[in-house]
Amino acid sequence: MRDVPCRSAHEGRCADDPDAGHAAPVADGPGGWLDRLDRLGAGHRHDGTDAAGWPEPDLGGRRPEGTDPRVPQLPAVRRSDDGAALAPEARGGAGTRARRDASGPVPGLRGRLTPAGPPGGASSHPARTPGPNGSARQPEPGPRALPARTMPMQTTTTSQTEPATRDRARPAGPDAHGGSAPSAHAAHDATAPPGCPAAPPRNPTGLLPSPYGPVSSASGPLPSNSAPAPSAYGSVPAPGPHALFQAAVEFLTLHHVERRLGDPARRIAAVRAEMADTGTYRHTTEELVFGARVAWRNANRCIGRLYWHSLHVRDRRDVQGAQDVADGAADHLREATRDGRIRALITVFAPDAPGRPGPRIWNEQLVRYAGYTRLDGGVTGDPRNAGLTALARRLGWPGGPGTAFDVLPLVIEGTDDKPRWFALPDDAVLEVELAHPEHDWWRTLGLRWHAVPALANMCLEIGGICYPAAPFNGWYMGTEIGARNLADTDRYDLLPRIADRLGLDTRTDRSLWKDRALVELNRSVLHSFDLAGVTVTDHHTESRRFLTHLEQEERRGRRVGADWSWIVPPISGSATPVFHRTYETVERRPAYVHHPEALERAEGAPLV
């Protein structure tokens, strides 16, 4: 098995950032603003970083001579005569890559996977709030913490400018390795459990001392008559003007501190004036890029946050209409796919504003498979998407061929618009057909999965501004597909069928038939993605990299929040190093947030 890291990752800066390495001079030394910041206890020191003050991950491992040691290298990809990419060991049938086609029913699938008549009907499928880097997971028993490697289990909500101590991995939302977001939107109780140190006290105003003077130093009051932005279908109202300004000040201060841009007072004054005129403000391109990357860094459920600084950002804030959003989403998939060398990418569409809600994508991910409810109550395809499938049918989608892997259309609600459906172009969706390294019959199961896990219905919150349509992706960790999407009993539920083909004794759980079938299914995923030349990582490698991320963030004085039940892989948990410790669940902004009404829309909420 070869691990294929993100080629765009770069220590300390992103290749797409024209200002990387060219930050403004810093008034350092005694009496400088960084010195005042240190004396205030903000904990943002920049020793050991690049000129811009960004972290420098050490991925380890051997690299070819003559290459930049800071840039992870991809294995060479061979090409067939028609230009398709092949892994070095690929010689034919197994693990081939496939663009979408309109083939008929998937052969070899029975029960819930068997196509049955014209698709239709509706089904309500309860979905857990997903988290970074994978499908929704059930809570697991608490960890067996080792005394020498434990952290106090605190639950706090904090600003990034607070004193720091310890964060990447599972995208918040199902299956998005490399990208993530916490699902909780509200503040948590800051009381520490018995035996744990109490959480640090917070300023009653919710803001920490600024090295640049009081927040109110900019002249002029904020408008009190700015109406919260209305959003269709019950969206959460926007914050009031003073809460918005406070959030803006915290974010702008963080941006200037981490990027070493000097005193943010002038920028804060400009934002105050803009808010007085319009009730909101617009981020600069640099602020948007920084905010999107730090939101990934803050994603408690994501195990792949080591690569947070490599996120590529597509600024599409001028796009509001449903058709234009659909076109932009297809372009996002094309750019993220890169012929299998998956790039961590986010596309940011228009934000919510007073009196004008931004566009919304109802799908949980840009690529999802339909779930057709049959007359017998079963589901052909993915039961998780049965509700949205029925909604798309009511909106006029005729349905696909009726297989277990029909790609759902996008359901998009534009600004001042009703939701409409849009089919994804064939060339925007790359899929991998699953085979097995030893069992030739595996291909007769007709299994496949899409290459890019692009979360679509989470809100990107930066400095009080909500971007409700901001699809983002990393790349898959194999267990997200093999241990969750294809194996969960409320998803494709393939373990009984695979165990039967393997000849395992399924009469008793003591035969461990589920465990054995689960391992073979995950071997199939890694094997097939590798043969197809599509980026994927395994849970053992990613667990080690997550601890590397923790160490690097701690050295830079930044606290790292993590959700143990999401960080620990769904198979072989105790065999990975992330299992044997505890974590703080620190909620911080910027963040990727799951609003309750977004989850309802993904389940096919009724139209109003």
Name the token pair of 480. 């997200």
**C-alpha pair distances (Å), 498 with each of 1, 109, 431, 482:** 22, 11, 21, 12
- Report pLDDT for 342: 97
Mean pLDDT of the residues in the chain: 73
Which residues 6+ apart lie within 8 Å of 186 measured at CB? none
Model confidence over 239-278: pLDDT tens digits?
Answer: 678 899 999 999 999 999 999 999 999 999 999 999 999 9
Active-site annotation holder among 287, 480, 584, 587: 480
DSSP secondary structure of 466-497: EES---EE--EEHHIIIIIITTSTTTT--HHH
Active-site residue, 431 included: no
Q: Which is the catalytic residue, given 97, 168, 297, 305?
A: 305
Among the listed residues 308, 475, 513, 564, the single catalytic one is: 475
**Measured distance between the N- and C-terminal CA atoms of the chain, rounded to whole angstroms:** 50
Q: To 10 degrees, what angle do helices 513-532 and 495-502 make?
A: 90
Q: What is the mean pLDDT of residues 47-52?
A: 37
Report the distance separating Cα 120 and Cα 152, nearest Å. Answer: 50
Over the stretch 58-105, which tens digit does the pLDDT of each residue have?
A: 333 333 333 344 333 333 333 344 444 443 333 344 444 555 444 443
pTM of the predicted model as reported, rounded to 2 decimal places = 0.68
Catalytic residue list contains 302: yes
Respond yes or no: is residue 480 known to be catalytic: yes
- Answer whether the bond into residue 30 is a cis peptide, omega within 30°: no
The answer to whether residue 10 scores a pLDDT higher than 70 is no
**Are the C-beta atoms of 336 and 455 separated by less than 8 Å?**
no
CATH code of domain 33-96+105-183+231-602 = 3.90.340.10
305 has catalytic annotation: yes
| Lowest-confidence segment of 414-423, 447-456, 524-533 by average pLDDT | 414-423
> Which candidate in 6, 302, 459, 466 is catalytic?
302
Query: What percent of the chain stands above pLDDT 70?
Result: 60
Of the chain, the percentage scoring pLDDT greater than 90 comes to 56
Helix boundaries (H) for 298-400: 322-337, 386-394
Per-residue pLDDT of 154-194, as tens digits, reads: 333 344 433 333 333 333 344 444 433 333 333 333 333 33
